[in-house]
Chains A and B, each alone.
Chain A
Amino acid sequence: MKIAISAFAAAVALSGQAYAQTEIQFWHAFTGANGDRLVAQAELFNESQDEYTVVPTFKGNYSETLNAGIAAFRAGEQPHILMVFEVGTATMMAAKGAIKPVYQVMDDAGVEWDADAYIGAVSGYYTTSDGKMLSLPYNSSTPVLWVNRDKLKEAGIDPDVDLSTWEKVDEVLTQLKDAGVGCPLVTAWQSWIHLENLSGYHDVPFATQENGFAGLDTELTFNQPLQVKHIAKMGEWAKDGKFVYTGRRNEGGANFRGGECALFTESSAGYGGIKAEAKFDFGIRPLPYWDDVEAAPRNTIIGGASLWVMEGHEAEDYVGVAEFLNFLSSPEVQAKWHQDSGYLPITGAAADLTREQGFYDANPGTDIAVKQMTANEPTANSKGIRLGNFDQIRGIIDEELEAVWSGDKDAQAALDSAVERGNQLLRRFEQANR
């Protein structure tokens, strides 16, 4: 009886202590292995101090999480931290009154924080033109070229063949086709890799006003000669069976991991899946560029998600938020995240630590994405893309590219149409956020 009472008293004391802690709600879009890693980060933070408890909650895929956050804000029930994918950046940015910019959260909380510690090519996407960080980059990746080395060997091609430029890739695709390979090239995220990154990598604008960073009165410009040339070439490859189209998202990953395809343009974050499933010798190469463009290769653009802090909570809550975001940015947490998940490190310190730990030597090719991102200082064209209604614009681009792959439209006509339709959505966004 005595034991029971003391156990009860202890439980009350414990729960009392739990109530004294401030809860930080963190809504995210991760399941599976990355979801477990995210929860582990939150637990580690919770154990590291006793004032705050971060409560991670899974809210569905990226779109669903953003929707949940918006609906919650309308109902006055918003979380402290909301994970938003990169295409939702302009939507969040425009929502003044709903969000609290990260630099402000850090300033108000008075925590020690160095905005320059972040890798410019990563954080630039979520930073204002005058260098103020709006949201904390969480999971960022960039497209690279994945190579099935066994497939190249089978086709009688040196697996270390030069694939640095699209001209070279063109030759190899022809050799693969002639050797009877059914799927020489496949891609994921076509708009992100073959239009957005293509533009940034060659230092040509995707849209006016610094790709939308400088204002809402931006217009799409991806129907210029470079993009038309690239899409036309891919259309030709599709017609000749050198490029196989599998869908708008990353459906092609299954084809590559299954060993059907020789080359695969996909996010660097595809590493975990490919490493786990591929039963062949694979290699990672930098994303190819067009050799005749002098500015290339510049740097590639990121994709992924960042963490936005929502308005409407107690001032003391934001101190906890600031500490958690700072914790996530620490070299140890970042290095582990980078090595486990394949996402890019967000700080230079995390990349250095990873190198010191010998990870890049043990896993050749894993530093290619980091190098590709950081080789050059980002320009206005390669810093990122910030457009309203971007999710729908990508949908339009997908539709028009499908018209090219199926041979219904030529590249110029399709891109012209995508630009025209996309511009209408940009005008609507401008109007909604006047």
Chain B
Amino acid sequence: MEKRVTFKGWLLPLLLIAPQVAISAVFFFYPAGQAIWQSLFIPDPFGLSMQFVGLGNFEYLLTDPYYRESFVTTAVFSTLVTLVSMIPALFLAVLADRLIKGAGVYRTLLIWPYAVAPAVAGVLWLFMFNTRVGVIAWYLGLLGYDWNHVLNGGEAMGLVVVASAWGRISYNFLFFFAALQAVPKSLIEAAAIDGARFWRRFFTIVLPLLSPTTFFLLVVNIVYAFFETFGVIHTITAGGPQQATTILVYKVFKDGFVGQDLGSSAAQSVILLFVVGLLTVIQFKFVEKRVHY
């Protein structure tokens, strides 16, 4: 029988959740409601007039093959960013966890990139891969590889993925590292006595025990890739070449804040909200079942 703590009366519990409800209302429900309302209109940028178009903005977007294409781009981008930011983070955390001397120094150094703002990280990577003055582009040239992300869509995608994932590796590292410390040493020692090698112990004991953290990071990183990466894309590729790196959130930003097409931008936000909501439901319904708490 599960033990439940219950409050007497309503006032205290309501008071306790009030701050969270207030914050959600101001920063989520109100803007989301506004977005839904605006998505039904084509307004002029100055707010002088509005044309009601019903679902016209959605029809305009969903019949546009270039917009539909950006769903695929977003899926590819988000998957890659999530993988590239989580796998190296786990690897580094495992290594740092095994360190006996100087673990503190490594930990600190590994966390640093998280302090770099996305747009700045974008500029940093752009400089390294700049087709003209970039160090890495230059070395690649020596190896006989002609790096040109301004025209090659695949290279552009690779670059924005790495630039977006780089700072996140630190964030993920921190969580994995903390989770590794919480793995009971007795379990690992018992397995070692039974003759299990390091990687065997890692895959059969450590990884399953890390699953709550991994699941949490999966959700958080996907949300990051969906929403917070437009700064990187804006500074590195501006969505190009062609539409190779135009992900959904970047198009929201570009149409709304550069193009002043607020109706389309609002409709795109609503679609994005729906997509991410759906993804989160899927994650909790199907992936979480395999998580052991």
Contacts and interface: CB of A to CB of B under 8 A. Distances in A.
A254 B132 contact: yes
Contacts of A398: 240
Given A402-B241, A406-B151, 10 more contacts: A67-B260, A70-B46, A74-B46, A245-B150, A246-B150, A248-B238, A260-B132, A389-B260, A432-B49, A434-B51
A156 interface: no
Interface string A83-101: 0000000010011111000
Contacts of B257: 63, 67
A339 interface: no
A406 to B, nearest CB: 5
Interface in A46-91: 63, 66-67, 70, 73-74, 91
B151 A402 contact: yes
A434 B53 CA distance: 13
A95 B49 CA distance: 9
A215 interface: no
Contacts of A296: none
B242 A402 contact: yes
Given A95-B48, A255-B132, A433-B44, A391 B150 contact: no
A251 B241 CA distance: 14
A247 interface: yes
Interface residues of A, number: 41
A2 B172 CA distance: 67
Contact of B44 (A248, A260, A403, A432): A432
Nearest to B259: A392
A410 to B, nearest CB: 15
A421 interface: yes
Contacts of A98: 46, 48
Interface string B171-203: 000000000000000000000000000000000
Given A245-B151, A247-B150, A392 B238 contact: no
Contact of A74 (B47, B66, B241): B47
B46 A405 contact: no
A74 B238 CA distance: 27
Contact of B152 (A258, A391, A403, A406): A406
A116 B53 CA distance: 43
B255 interface: yes
A97 B47 CA distance: 10
Interface in B149-168: 150-152
A428 interface: yes
A433 B261 CA distance: 12
Given A254-B132, A258-B132, A432-B263, A95 B45 contact: yes
A391 B45 CA distance: 14
B151 A424 contact: no
A433 B259 contact: no
Nearest to A78: B46
B242 A408 contact: yes
B240 A402 contact: yes
Contact of A73 (B46, B132, B150): B46
Q: Which of B53, B133, B150, B238: most chain A Cβ within 10 A?
A: B150
Interface in A369-427: 389, 391-392, 395, 398-400, 402-403, 405-406, 408, 421, 424-425
A432 B150 contact: no
Nearest to A95: B46
A363 interface: no
B42 interface: yes
Contacts of B131: 246
B72 to A, nearest CB: 16
A391 B258 contact: yes
A91 B261 CA distance: 11
Instruction: Please give me the 5 A-B residue pairs with the lowest Cβ-Cβ distance, nearest first.
Output: A392-B259, A402-B241, A98-B46, A432-B42, A95-B46
A246 B137 CA distance: 14
A6 interface: no
B242 A91 contact: no
B254 interface: yes
Nearest to A402: B241
Nearest to A70: B45
Classify chain B: how many residues form its interface, as a range.
20 to 34
30 contacts: A63-B258, A66-B260, A70-B45, A73-B47, A91-B45, A91-B260, A96-B48, A97-B46, A246-B131, A246-B132, A247-B150, A391-B259, A391-B260, A392-B255, A392-B258, A395-B254, A398-B240, A402-B242, A403-B242, A424-B60, A424-B64, A428-B263, A431-B51, A431-B53, A432-B43, A432-B51, A432-B261, A432-B263, A433-B44, A434-B51
Contact of A406 (B53, B241, B243, B255): B241
B39 interface: no
Interface string B239-250: 111110000000
A259 to B, nearest CB: 12
A341 to B, nearest CB: 25
B263 to A, nearest CB: 7
B257 to A, nearest CB: 6
B66 to A, nearest CB: 7
Contacts of A70: 45-46, 260
Contacts of B214: none
A346 to B, nearest CB: 26
A434 B293 CA distance: 58
Contact of A94 (B44, B60, B64, B259): B44
B38 interface: no
A97 B241 CA distance: 39
B170 interface: no
B261 A389 contact: yes
Kindly name the residue among B132, B254, B263 whose own CB sees the greatest number of chain A CB atoms within 10 A: B132
Contacts of A254: 132-133
B264 interface: yes
B73 to A, nearest CB: 13
Contacts of A400: 242
Nearest to A427: B60
A201 to B, nearest CB: 26
A96 B235 CA distance: 34
Contacts of B151: 245, 402, 405-406
Contacts of A246: 131-132, 150
A376 to B, nearest CB: 34
Contacts of B44: 94-95, 432-433
